[in-house]
Chains A and B, each alone.
Chain A
């Protein structure tokens, strides 16, 4: 799953010293010190365990640290939001997870949450309030947009994307599910390259194939995999970078690129990774 761009990893060697001071605070630690962070970073299961997504998780932390926002994570106190259980029809398990999480979040008096995953984002933002958990929830691309608007983040001092043809794949639970279309695009528009749209974009976006708990099962019988269909569209517009904003999409798109033997031509990168690279964080 690990995707390494040799050109980029070479460059980031110099930046290694910066990540030496990489220290992620947990809620438990901060509360013990009598501090309350401004925002909770909800990492999510993929962001915690999936090797590729872990990189993105660390990049989101780098962005938070770079702009000096006081944040914390739950660490081992975090648990699955219950999203895949709910989409699969297991409302019991979902509500068990939700209520346990809400107890932890309310216990820490959490007000504002940023998530690294559109599924966590959607579930906490829309489905937790009915079960007693009401928070201001944003997705990490919305945080990046805010930071760009406030002038705290630019696309300077890092890798140049000049000459790359970038397209953006809308995750269903960010786009259609919550009408967030512009925030992730904002992070791409400030790069020194053009953003090319696929025909199926924004509200017409094509799913990567992982939603509705499909991530955890084999697809039903058909004549094509959904992620291959999506990557064929990426290939058809000659994009060299597909920007993603969801760890499940990341897995599906990366696999699709592999199926089509395009690993040298097409890179799949999360918006957070692109931001970190463009700013040399």
Chain B
């Protein structure tokens, strides 16, 4: 009875805390500017099914793809078991699904165990890749202590959870064999039966082992749930909406800024009167801080799991330049989290004197981009670092007139001669004459 009460209190507290933090992230994302991504729902669902659920963009790196697939499937399917644990916890039952499901239950538990081993092995391999082999993709200027620890924590927690799950089953398996108390014959234990000999023989010790593992497993899951909002692992939730709201245009197509269109029209045609901005607010051209970006850019920042596929294919990064698309996303997330904290502590209009451009992302980084879209193509969850880089450039050029001198020359040439080089418009057709 007391056990049930404690369980319910822990469960409610965990869910409450998690919802609170998720609501905060949602609020932070909505600090971004509006952009319409509600068109073509059928196409969006298809892309989500393919890219997020089906993980089609992962296969470019087959080893990581297979291992990640094990963890992903393991996570989703073992959650069925968590449902049973919840019900058992609340009602004080034991293996409540075993009776109604009959022989199917044995099959399920058996497959959970095999999945648990696959998850465990994959996590170990991932730890080795990060900490022993030191795969290049997991290093870089942005991969400071916290991002590296974050990754290791996630993998270690998953290893611990799977170990607890298997040990719990092993103890249960032994107790079932002893026909002890409520431990009726239920389930199939292809893996835990192998580790059962390692456990003590006495029924009392086995019950303690089973109970400790049961509590550790479920409390671990609830703690892990509350770790998500602080971690890059939040991608397990946001990957789906993030892919749903993907940019459906061709990658080469950049947005045409409507605010600029009005001004250009007014310049070309003096009789044109631009419509007043809908929200009455005059916003700046481009982005200086995170709140100048769209909510989608910010959602992408929270979705990024720092895998570094973008940076590993970035031509600028490959050739030793400062730019790293992963850093663009991590900086955006760090900054929007900071802006959110400022609001919580000091109210809505607090200015901390920091901005995404300059405090977090330097000019050298944004000017190194070739806009080649390799990062966008590489992202398994359709994140677009290029859009943020472009917005920062727009701010630097249009609000501050701060672009590299050679680009200023190019702008000047285009304005005066209609070509990026210093050639006369009158000579444009000369190519047809000298053959």
Q: Report which A residues bind B (CB closer than 8 A).
A: 19, 22, 24, 26, 43, 45, 47-49, 54, 57-58, 61, 73, 75-76, 78-80, 82, 84-93, 95-97, 99-100, 122, 126-127, 130-131, 172-173, 176-179, 203-207, 209-226, 228-229
* Contact of A127 with B418 in the complex, beta carbons under 8 Å: no
A127 touching B256 in the complex, CB below 8 Å, given contacts A24-B432, A221-B364: yes
Q: Which of A90, A203, A219, A228 has its CB near the most chain B CB atoms (within 10 A)?
A: A90
Name 6 A/B residue pairs within 8 A (Cβ), A-sorted: A76-B428, A89-B390, A204-B60, A211-B371, A216-B407, A226-B316
Chain A positions within 8 Å of B411 at CB level = 85, 88, 90, 93
A80 touching B418 in the complex, CB below 8 Å, given contacts A91-B257, A173-B252: yes
Closest to B258 in A: A130
What separation, in Å, do the CA atoms of A85 and B370 have in the docked complex? Answer: 13
A126 touching B322 in the complex, CB below 8 Å, given contacts A45-B420, A207-B372: no
Contact of B320 with A by CB under 8 A: yes
Given contacts A95-B256, A217-B406, 4 further A-B contacts (CB under 8 A): A45-B420, A48-B429, A76-B428, A178-B251
* Contact of B286 with A76 in the complex, beta carbons under 8 Å: no
* Contact of A177 with B410 in the complex, beta carbons under 8 Å: no
* Contact of B414 with A226 in the complex, beta carbons under 8 Å: no
Chain A positions within 8 Å of B16 at CB level = none
What separation, in Å, do the CA atoms of A91 and B397 have in the docked complex? Answer: 9
What separation, in Å, do the CA atoms of A247 and B60 have in the docked complex? Answer: 30
What separation, in Å, do the CA atoms of A22 and B435 have in the docked complex? Answer: 9
* Contact of A216 with B373 in the complex, beta carbons under 8 Å: no
* Contact of B252 with A84 in the complex, beta carbons under 8 Å: no
Contact of B142 with A by CB under 8 A: no
Closest to B432 in A: A24
Among B245-277, those with CB < 8 Å from A are 249-254, 256-257, 260-261, 263-265, 267-268
- Interface residue count for B (Cβ, 8 Å)? 69
Chain A positions within 8 Å of B267 at CB level = 96
Chain B positions within 8 Å of A204 at CB level = 60, 313, 374, 377
Closest to A89 in B: B393
Give the contacting residue for A178; candidates B252, B264, B313, B393; CB below 8 A. Answer: B252
Closest to B253 in A: A126
Give the contacting residue for A212; candidates B250, B370, B425, B435; CB below 8 A. Answer: B370
* Contact of B370 with A211 in the complex, beta carbons under 8 Å: yes
What separation, in Å, do the CA atoms of A122 and B373 have in the docked complex? Answer: 13
* Contact of B431 with A57 in the complex, beta carbons under 8 Å: yes
What separation, in Å, do the CA atoms of A80 and B413 have in the docked complex? Answer: 10
A99 touching B264 in the complex, CB below 8 Å, given contacts A80-B419, A225-B319: yes
Give the contacting residue for A47; candidates B60, B403, B414, B431; CB below 8 A. Answer: B431
* Contact of B403 with A45 in the complex, beta carbons under 8 Å: no
Q: Report which B residues bind A (CB closer than 8 A).
A: 60, 249-254, 256-257, 260-261, 263-265, 267-268, 285-286, 313, 315-316, 318-323, 364, 367-374, 376-377, 390, 392-398, 403-404, 406-407, 409-411, 414-415, 418-421, 423, 425-432, 435
Chain A positions within 8 Å of B370 at CB level = 172, 207, 209-212, 214, 226
A75 touching B322 in the complex, CB below 8 Å, given contacts A204-B60, A229-B315: no
Q: Which of A91, A211, A218, A228 has its CB near the most chain B CB atoms (within 10 A)?
A: A91
* Contact of A89 with B397 in the complex, beta carbons under 8 Å: yes
Give the contacting residue for A54; candidates B396, B418, B431; CB below 8 A. Answer: B431
Closest to B262 in A: A95
What separation, in Å, do the CA atoms of A24 and B318 have in the docked complex? Answer: 43
* Contact of A84 with B410 in the complex, beta carbons under 8 Å: yes
* Contact of A87 with B254 in the complex, beta carbons under 8 Å: yes
* Contact of A220 with B256 in the complex, beta carbons under 8 Å: no
What separation, in Å, do the CA atoms of A87 and B372 have in the docked complex? Answer: 10
Chain B positions within 8 Å of A205 at CB level = 374
Q: A127 CB to closest chain B CB, in angstroms? A: 6
Q: B238 CB to closest chain A CB, in angstroms? A: 24
What separation, in Å, do the CA atoms of A108 and B24 have in the docked complex? Answer: 55
What separation, in Å, do the CA atoms of A219 and B390 have in the docked complex? Answer: 17
* Contact of B319 with A226 in the complex, beta carbons under 8 Å: yes
What separation, in Å, do the CA atoms of A58 and B432 have in the docked complex? Answer: 7
Nearest first, the 8 A-B pairs at minimum CB distance are A177-B252, A89-B393, A212-B371, A223-B320, A79-B418, A207-B372, A222-B320, A126-B253
Closest to A47 in B: B431
Give the contacting residue for B316; candidates A126, A173, A222; CB below 8 A. Answer: A222
What separation, in Å, do the CA atoms of A209 and B368 have in the docked complex? Answer: 10
Chain B positions within 8 Å of A172 at CB level = 370-374
Q: B327 CB to closest chain A CB, in angstroms? A: 14
Closest to B322 in A: A220
What separation, in Å, do the CA atoms of A51 and B209 have in the docked complex? Answer: 80
What separation, in Å, do the CA atoms of A226 and B263 have in the docked complex? Answer: 37
* Contact of B431 with A43 in the complex, beta carbons under 8 Å: yes
Give the contacting residue for B373; candidates A49, A176, A220, A221; CB below 8 A. Answer: A176
Q: Which of A92, A203, A220 has its CB near the most chain B CB atoms (within 10 A)?
A: A220
* Contact of B419 with A79 in the complex, beta carbons under 8 Å: yes
* Contact of B249 with A126 in the complex, beta carbons under 8 Å: yes
What separation, in Å, do the CA atoms of A165 and B394 have in the docked complex? Answer: 43
A49 touching B419 in the complex, CB below 8 Å, given contacts A131-B256, A218-B406, A226-B315: yes
